[in-house]
Amino acid sequence: MDYRFNKVRLEKGMHQESGRSFTEVLESLDPSEGYRGTAMEGLDAFQRQLKRFDIHVKGPKSDRVEKFFHCAQAAVLFPEFVSRVVRQGMEENSILKDITATETVFEGMDYRTITSVPSEDDKSLCRVEEGAQLPQTAIKTQKNLVRLHKRGRMLVASYEAVRFQRLDLFAVTLRQIGGHIARMHMEDAIEVVLKGDGNSNAADSFQVGSDPISGQAGELSYGALLEFWAQFDPYCMNTMLVPGDVMLQLLKLPELQNPLTGLNFQGTGTLTTPLGAKLLRTAAMPAGTLVGLDRRYALEMVTGGQVMVEADRLIDRQLERASITSISGFAKLYQGASKVLKV
């Protein structure tokens, strides 16, 4: 069967189209809808091009890196391969989706989010008499901009050093680069949670041993957790971010040392807290600090689109200083949806 993807002409310029990714450009030339009911169903336009040039990127029989450069058109696919594998590494090593309420794609470096700060009267559900005006909730744009940051790594390797390496092995390094970028984004997110996004919305901070949190400074107790949890009304603390030292203190709490919780932790590495919150450990958290979140209302993640690579350099085999970058920033949606407990 003569498939359409065999006739698509691949060119460098497909990576530079404004407002569209390389895959979106390919999809416009070779729509996936046309492959329903065929052997190609389930593959996107990029994956069909890999099949066209017989490039195997996974498994013990994956091809060498040089397979992408056997012809000029196949070389055009290499930057997208790099971008996808780096993005896979970011997703594997990221817990951002567990702490953000929504993700916004924005082309630019300065972004202004919206907010709604209801007064006590606005929060009350008053009865509206016949003919009376309904209470209003005002939604406004934030005063200060949310700045997006470019995070990335420089790929430093000669083509001669990697050309004979299997793509499956080369992908391990690319996924590690993605993991490093994800950790940098996580540090940005935690900084916004703790200090705010520039709109006077830093998280309220509590200290163990200081009213209203009981206990002794330096020691985390189950009672202190309960009192911290009680500060979230009308929000719900459904996520907890902790560093390694606080995680150890949580694991040692008698209330968490029951057979069911222990069996779950030993089998999956996941700890269910008595408060029903999802517990996430990250090295990006400062020591001795616990962050509670209502992930439904706490953070907005703003991204500058896909992982960006220097396509021209990669296509021309100039891997010596090829950058891999990702742009993102974070906006605080509702200040009360995140709080900090200092142990």
Average pLDDT, stretch 105-109? 76
Is residue 341 very low, low, confident or very high in pLDDT (cuts 50, 70, 90)?
very high
Q: Is residue 20 domain-resident?
A: yes
* 22 assigned to some structural domain: yes
Examine residue 43 and state whether it is found in any structural domain, yes or no.
yes
**Does the residue 154 lie in any domain?**
no
Residue 263, pLDDT score: 61
The CA distance from 80 to 92, in Å, is: 18
- Domain presence at residue 195: no
Determine, yes or no, domain membership for 278: no
Enclosing H/E stretch for 141: strand 140-141
Average pLDDT over residues 8-13: 92
Is residue 37 a part of any domain in this protein? yes
pLDDT, one tens digit per residue, over 108-120 is: 767 777 766 655 5
pLDDT at residue 161, as a whole number: 85
What is the total count of domains within the chain?
Answer: 1
**Domain assignment of residue 16, given as a range:** 1-52
What are the tens digits of pLDDT across the range 241-280? 999 999 999 888 887 776 666 666 666 666 666 688 999 9
Please give the pLDDT value at position 175. 94
* Residue 31 in domain: yes
Tokens at residue 343, please? 């142990």
- Number of other residues whose CB lies within 10 A of the CB of residue 19: 7
Report whether 141 contacts 110 (CB < 8 A).
no
Q: Are strands 322-332 and 308-309 parallel, antiparallel or unpaired?
A: antiparallel
| Predicted TM-score of the model (pTM) | 0.83
Q: Which residues pair with 115 in a beta bridge?
A: 140
pLDDT of residue 125: 59
